[in-house]
Amino acid sequence: MSAGFSNLLWFVGVVEYREDASNDGRVKVRAFGIHNSDKNEVGTDDLPWAIVIDGSYGASSSIPDIGEWVFGFFMDGADAQHPMILGRIPGVNLQLPPEAGAPNEVSMIPTASIHKFGKPPLHRAMGGEDADVGQATLQQASKKNNIETALGALWSEPSIMTPERNLDNRVYTSKNDNNFVVLSDSEDGEGTYILVSHKSGSAVQIDSQGTVFVKSQGDTYNSSEGFTLNRTKHSHHTNVEEGDWDLKVENGSGKIWISGDLDVECENFNVTARNTMNLNAGTAVNVSGGKVGLFATADDINLAANANIKMKAGSNPLTLGGIYAQALFGDVHIDSYKMNLYSTAYTKITSLGTPAVSLQTLPYPDLGHKGVEINSGVLVHVTAPSVSVESLTALVNSGKTTLSSTGIIDIFAGGALNMQAVGIANLHAGGALNLEAVGVANLKATGALSMSSNVATSLKAGAILTMDGSLVNIGMGATSALSATLASVTAAPSVVAVATLRNLQIPTPAAIPSITEIARVVNPGEIPASRMGAGPSTGGSKARRRTAAMTSRMTDDTTDGGSTE
């Protein structure tokens, strides 16, 4: 062995076998002029194993391929049993294997290397030959252009570098050049790039400007067992051409902070919050839809405003529409400083007279209450060309129409005023009761008509006073049997009788509001100050802020001087 080192035997040969079962990276080489070229004389199995010297010190392991010409020496000199390979000799793969040539033609090229016959020795990213071979054509054909962002802007994918002659490039390639890495360089330093290219066409590229482009022809997975941070100085666009976009936070919370506007456009927008949802806007909240529904499944719906609460419906003469409120098993309360009810056609207030079944004690107990009450601490005024106050049935057995006031009840009609009851009609005042007509006033009853006063009764006429009847009684306290009978029939029902009919209903005191449930809303707190600095907030490539379009407006119909126009 020592003689071999002092008298090395150099050789050039071709690799015929590389499947080293010991995984030492050894190959079998047929050395020209040392091993017989006739494989029948010296078979591949008889060739000694050659050690491939690794000059990278383990940083990169590369085993010569079958058919490649290599250069080396025998450590044992002329014994030629311990070959070592120093390197590869490119550019000699121009001979055909024996099976491809004439019969019995001597050839040193194994059949397994026929795919490399005539192949340029330099990689196409260095020599520039066969640039159309491999994945470069696929990469150019699959380039996506005019991709539309959510703002409508268009962008295109960067082009993947096409192989061209550049002897300054350094290429790390797989066995058959299907996968390779190009470290591009040049003497002037311009146009350099780094490219990792896969047979499928997938690539990772860094161009001369430092732009990083990742193109996957299949699926892409990003997974981290630690912290992940994505940052960009300018705009960030994501485009999903087909399929869905999903985001899931398994354990934790989420937050989106945007200094500008946030626009969401979709077909259907669904938001589910298992607990509380808060919407907080510093200026206004606008909700518009073909149909808008609010439903509280377990508690109340609260509406509160520092100014006015407005409702408007029926603006379209074709669709009509109205405002409807229904509380089948509850109450309707409206308290206000002033209240106006106005309609161009008619106004109806209807009560079926069913006694209330209620545990309500505020502002007063209302168990058993029924009918319609109109209460005023000062005045009840009814004005119309024709006024009709009507009770449909008798006194005790059914309902009754009652107008009651501790002050004055004023019923005024420009024309005729009719007060009629099928049963008994009572006019009662704790102070004075005035019945006055500019023309003729008629008091008429199909039964008995009784006028009585605890103090004095005055009948006066400017012209003629007529009293006519089959029997007229005028006396100082004396009453006939007939007058007593009439008095018993026509006597006004006592306060107790009226109270019985009303089920001891208590008129609402003016100082006590009927509403005991006040709308309460969550105080969202102050709007955080903007974290955007002073100056222009938009750039040439950014969408300018715009006010959301108003599809409908309702004029302010109050007298506070405000207007939405």
Question: Are domains 2-119 and 126-215 of this chain identical in fold?
Answer: no
Q: Is 359 left (phi over 0), alpha (psi -120 to 50) or beta?
A: alpha
Most distant CA pair in the chain: distance in Å?
A: 171
SS (H, E, C) 270-323: CCCCCCCCCCCCCCCCCCCCCCCCCCCCCCCCCCCCCCCCCCCCCCECCCECCC
What is the pTM for the complete model shown? Answer: 0.60
Eight-class DSSP state of 355:
P
With bands split at pLDDT 50, 70 and 90, how would you rate the model's confidence at 419? low
User: Based on the number of CB atoms within 10 Å of its own CB, is 27 exposed (0-12), middle (13-18) or buried (19 or more)?
Assistant: buried
Q: Which amino acid is at 300?
A: D
How does pLDDT run across 289-341, given as a tens digit for each residue? 888 888 888 888 998 888 888 888 877 777 778 888 888 887 888 888 888 88
Peptide bond into 363 cis (omega under 30): yes
pLDDT at 474: 65
Residue 180: beta bridge partners?
173, 197
Q: How far apart are CA 561 and CA 455, in angstroms?
A: 55
Q: How far apart are CA 152 and CA 542, in angstroms?
A: 11
If one compares 56 and 134, the residue with the highest pLDDT of the two is: 134
pLDDT at 41: 86
pLDDT at 445: 61
If one compares 360 and 22, the residue with the highest pLDDT of the two is: 22
Residue 11: beta bridge partners?
72
For 2-119, which CATH class? Answer: mainly beta
Question: What is the architecture of the domain spanning 126-215?
Answer: Roll (3.10)
Sequence ranges of the domains in the chain: 2-119, 126-215
Cβ atoms 558, 342 nearer than 8 A: no
Mean pLDDT of 198-211: 93
The pairing of strands 83-89 and 49-52 is parallel
**Between the ranges 282-291, 360-369, 549-558, where is the mean pLDDT highest?**
282-291
Q: Which long-range contacts (CB under 8 A, 24 or more apart) does 416-421 make?
A: 416/386, 417/387, 418/386, 418/387, 418/388, 419/389, 420/390, 421/390, 421/391
Q: Count CB atoms within 10 A of the CB of residue 216.
A: 13
**Between the ranges 316-325, 394-403, 430-439, 457-466, where is the mean pLDDT highest?**
316-325
With bands split at pLDDT 50, 70 and 90, how would you rate the model's confidence at 388? low
Which is nearest to 367 in space by CA: 377, 358, 354? 358
pLDDT at 410: 59
Mean pLDDT of 147-169: 88
Check whether 132 has a pLDDT greater than 90.
no
pLDDT at 131: 81
User: What is the DSSP secondary-structure string of 45-67?
Assistant: GGSPEEEEP-TTTTS----PPTT
Two structure tokens written together for 544: 């300018």
Q: Which amino acid is at 32?
A: F
Q: How far apart are CA 174 and CA 379, in angstroms?
A: 102
Cβ atoms 81, 46 nearer than 8 A: no
pLDDT at 565: 41
pLDDT at 561: 40
Check whether 99 has a pLDDT greater than 50.
no
Q: Which amino acid is at 256?
A: I
User: Based on the number of CB atoms within 10 Å of its own CB, is 378 exposed (0-12), middle (13-18) or buried (19 or more)?
Assistant: exposed
Two structure tokens written together for 326: 């229904």
